[in-house]
Each structure stands twice: as structure tokens, then as C-alpha cells.
Structure 1
Amino acid sequence: MNTTHYINQGINDGILTLEFNRVSKKNAITQSMYQTLTDALESAKQNVDIKVVIFQGNGGCFTAGNDLHDFLSQKEDSTHPPVKNNINKNSPVYQFLLSLRDFNKPLLASVSGVAVGIGTTLLLHCDLVFADRTAIFSMPFTQLGVCAEAGSSLLLPQQIGYHKAAEWLLLGEPHTAEEALNDGLINAIVEDVNSHTCDMAMKLARLPTDGVMATRKLLKEYQMNNDQNSLHASIENEIIEFTRLLELDDVKKRVNAFLNR
């Protein structure tokens, strides 16, 4: 695999694997990593030889979510002024979320260890998600005083039902692989998750491309209630609220306490 900004990239038999590889930080994602992921997805979208994309993490961990140190330092940098009532549409996070929304080929995820924040909300954009028994899924946004992101306020209720989604998002508590399977967040729990996910990707890659892409498009249109803009609006509304909440003194204290623990 080639590595750029802690993202391993490898192409084999029509499958692009994107692997979080910042093991010392539990694969926490920086802005430069988001940019690398976006570039990879945009390239894969145009590359007819790539049929399927897999997300996975190195070192027995999917991802600990956003690197808050990195995001706060970017926010305080005078060359990256804070956004309050408007959205910085050039931000790597925003561009990555749009790339996920607009991607036209199957997305698979292989989850081991922790999947925190975007590590879980990213899965809502994937078509097939597999985990091993070490996987722990967590969206602790409210515990930090912020809100849902990555379109999860729309996608999670659609995927697992409103009341379960409210339990996951409002309480922000961690969930085991068994709970994620029972609630419908993942497809299966397997022993060798990377190998199993690769096998599923191979099955998809060997199928007629046009049929797979057309079926996926129809599934996504149904998922969005035939209105792709609804997901776009959810992503933007979440960013606006998330940014507003980050300016609150109580949230700053909670975030700093989290960073210093």
C-alpha cells in the first residue's frame, strides 16, 4: 500500500482499500487525512477499473474519530477563521462528506476496535459493514455538548428507527458489536473481519458493474426519500449547529477536559 497523510491506499482486483494508519493516535483523523480521503474517493469515482472501496483501520482500531487537537489548532489559526453562521465549503471535512454523499460505487467498512464519532457516522454512508467482536461503536457528541454530524441525524433514524437512533445519539453511550448488529447498524460479526470484507468486495467487483451501480443508485434514492438534497441539508444544518455549540464556554471546558484526561 501507498501511504499519504496516515492513509494507506491499495488497489487489488478492482478494490480500493483506504486504511486509517495513525496507530499511535488510535487512527484519529486530521484535516489532512480528510483531504487525502476526499482525493482518493474522487479519483476512484472516475476510475473505471475501481469497482468497490473498503474503509478499514490499522492496528486493531477503526478510528477514534476527529483529532480534536488538530481541529482546534486549525480553528485558532488566523489563516483559518472560525465559521459561525456560514459554512466553510472548502473545509476538508465538508468536502469529504460531500464525496461520501455523491459516491457512485459500493462502499464497504471493516471495523475492529473503537469506532468513535465519524468512525460510526461514516458507516451510515456505507453499503455493507462488517465487524469483529472487539468493535465498539460510539457517538459521544452530546457528552461533549455538541450535536450529531455527517448526516447522522437523518441517516441513523432511517437505518435503525427513530427510538433506537435517539438512544444512540442523545445518550452518546458506547455499543458493542452485538448491539450494533441487533439494532441494524452492521451486517454481520465475523472472526477475520478484513478478510471477510475483502471477500464480499470481491463478490461485488465480479458482478456486472452497470447493474451494481444502478441498483446502488436506486437504493440510495429510496434511502433519501428521492431527495438527495435532504442529506445535503442535514449535513449543512449539523455543521451549523456543531460550530455554534463549539463556541459555548461549557462546551470548550468539556472539550478541554476530554483532551487533558
Structure 2
Amino acid sequence: MSNEILIGRETGDGGVMTITINRPERKNALTPPMYQTMVEALQEAHADTGVRAVLFRGHAEIFTAGNDIEDFLKTPPTGSDSPVMRFLAGIAGATKPLVAAVAGPAIGVGTTLLLHCDIVYAADNARFAMPFAQLGLCPEAGSSLLLPRIAGYQGAAEKLLLGETFDAAEAHRMGFVNRVLPAAELDAFVAAQVAKLAALPAASLRVTKALMKQGSEHELKTRMTEEAVHFGKMLLAPEAREAFTAFLQKRKPDFRQFD
């Protein structure tokens, strides 16, 4: 198990599994081994009747910068069995409540994974962005379906087409952040909230979530598959190569050469 993802149990009897992204020296950028560790943690949480909820968190200054660009260039994910795709399927199909505590930047999948969380709390220093178009890519994790439902079409279009950064207050107005707190208060507040979840009957949490999600599972799975097909092709296309190379060279990409 990678020490870049820390798995813990909280609230005394271990009723909450915590998944902490722990690669601050690389801005918590995610790699296949990190995704694999989270996949295994989600599987464990699903099978363990003692786990009432799963909490995602990063560090006080960074949630995650998204996928590791250098890693993407060297080993682009392919197929539904890749760790990243298995992780996305895991959060989409999670039967137990998913909670997120977000401080600092949450970029790319760092934002889109939140759309699958049932409760999201953000520090006032949190920043969000889905810069897929800027990287020559398309939305992933079902965000092309989920974000318009949450924020409305125009609100989602602005964030997905332009890919610009926005703050926690705007994320709260859009509807995918439940509450914004001072950064110094985030951890204590979230700990109290997940402790409340851990004290509730597992069946009540599971059935309530299932009822709220009922009817949308097939549509979400279909959209995620469609996104993955486009994403995989675009990841290998010249536009993405130009965007990633420009990112690593710290220059502005030039897309004028492409139709």
C-alpha cells in the first residue's frame, strides 16, 4: 500500500474510514498506485459492516492538483481496468456516504470526485478548477452530466469550457459544497459531522443514499463510459500533447495549429 495515500479509521470504533492524499511535495498529484490504494480502500469500506462513512481529505494547503501530468504523458490510462477508471467507478457506485474535507486547491479530478460525494465541506482557502478543455481533453468522472444538474447548464458550461479557477464561496453557490468554513476550523467541524454519521444505523444511511440515487445509476454509468472513450482518444491526440508539454515547459500552449 502506497504511503502517498493514508488509510485510517476514526470516531473511536472505526466507524469512519479516512482516505488522506499524502503527496504534498508534488501538490498531492495522483498516480496509478495512489488510485489503486484508494480503490482497495473503497472495496474494504464496502465490505466492512463497521464502516458507516468514508472521508476524503488532503492537507491544509492542498487537496489535490489532480492527475500527475508527467505520469499521464508517460503512461496514459487505457481501458476500464486502469486504476483511475476503477476509482471513478468506485466512488460512483459507493453505497455508503462519502464525505470530503477540502482545503487549498482541488484541480481536475480533485473537483470532479466531489460531485460523487454526498457531503462536501470546504475551507475558505479552497480553490477549484476543471481545466480539461485547457489540456485538450474533455470532462471525466461523469462531470458533464452531474455538474449541469447541480449548477445548471450555464454555470457548468462556464467551468467546463473555460476551465478557470473559482473559490469556495462560488462552489457553495453552485451547490456542490455544503458549507464553507475558516481553514482553521475545517478539521474539527468535519470530525464532528462524520462522528454523527458513524453513530447512525448503517441500514438507514445505506437505504437513504440508495433512494436518493435511484433511477440515475444507469445514466451516470453510460455517461462515464462515453466520457472515458473520448478522454482516452483525446489524451493521445496532438492537442493534449501540446498542452501537457507546454505545462511542463511553463509556457502557454499554442492551439492555433489544430483545427
Q: With the length of structure 2 as denominator, give the TM-score of the two structures.
A: 0.91
Which residue of 1 is the match for residue 21 of structure 2?
20
| Superposed counterparts of 1:178-193, under 5 Å | 178-191=169-182, 192-193=185-186
Query: What is the CA–CA distance in structure 2 between the aligned matches of 1:153 and 1:159, rounded to whole Å?
Result: 11
Unaligned runs of 5+ in 1: 76-81
Q: Which of 164, 185, 190 is the equivalent residue of 1:197?
A: 190
Which residue of 2 is the match for residue 239 of structure 1?
228
Contact 1:5 1:36 in 2 (8 A): no
Deviations 1:164-222 (A, max 9, x none): 1111111111001111111112000112212211211111111122111111111112x
Which residue of 2 is the match for residue 8 of structure 1?
6
Deviations 1:225-249 (A, max 9, x none): x141211111111111112112222
Query: What is the CA–CA distance in structure 1 between the aligned matches of 2:202 and 2:18, rounded to whole Å?
Result: 18
Q: Which amino acid aligns with 2:219?
A: S
- Taking only aligned residues, the RMSD between alpha carbons, in angstroms, comes to 1.3
Q: Which amino acid aligns with 1:234?
A: R
Contact 2:73 2:244 in 1 (8 A): no
SS at match of 2:28: coil
SS at match of 1:4: coil
Which residue of 2 is the match for residue 30 of structure 1?
31
Contact 1:19 1:57 in 2 (8 A): yes
Which residue of 2 is the match for residue 151 of structure 1?
142
Contact 1:137 1:176 in 2 (8 A): yes
Which residue of 2 is the match for residue 79 of structure 1?
none
Q: With the length of structure 1 as denominator, give the TM-score of the two structures.
A: 0.90
Q: CA deviation at 1:59?
A: 4.6
Deviations 1:4-23 (A, max 9, x none): 24001110231111000000
Q: CA deviation at 1:251?
A: 2.2
Q: CA deviation at 1:73?
A: 1.5
Q: Which amino acid aligns with 2:101?
A: S
Q: Which amino acid aligns with 1:196?
A: F
| Superposed counterparts of 1:1-261, under 5 Å | 4-13=2-11, 14-75=15-76, 83=78, 88-191=79-182, 192-221=185-214, 226-261=215-250
Query: What is the CA–CA distance in structure 2 between the aligned matches of 1:136 and 1:47, rounded to whole Å?
Result: 33
Query: What is the CA–CA distance in structure 2 between the aligned matches of 1:178 and 1:69, rounded to whole Å?
Result: 31
Query: What is the CA–CA distance in structure 2 between the aligned matches of 1:259 and 1:196, rounded to whole Å?
Result: 37
Contact 2:100 2:119 in 1 (8 A): yes
Contact 1:124 1:155 in 2 (8 A): yes
Query: What is the CA–CA distance in structure 1 between the aligned matches of 2:201 and 2:194, rounded to whole Å?
Result: 13
In structure 2, the CA distance between the partners of 1:10 and 1:175, relative to structure 1 (3 Å rule), is same
Query: What is the CA–CA distance in structure 1 between the aligned matches of 2:46 and 2:6, rounded to whole Å?
Result: 18
Query: What is the CA–CA distance in structure 1 between the aligned matches of 2:238 and 2:75, rounded to whole Å?
Result: 19
Query: What is the CA–CA distance in structure 1 between the aligned matches of 2:236 and 2:201, rounded to whole Å?
Result: 49
Task: Provide the identity percentage.
Answer: 42
Unaligned runs of 5+ in 2: 251-259
Contact 1:31 1:71 in 2 (8 A): no
SS at match of 1:69: helix
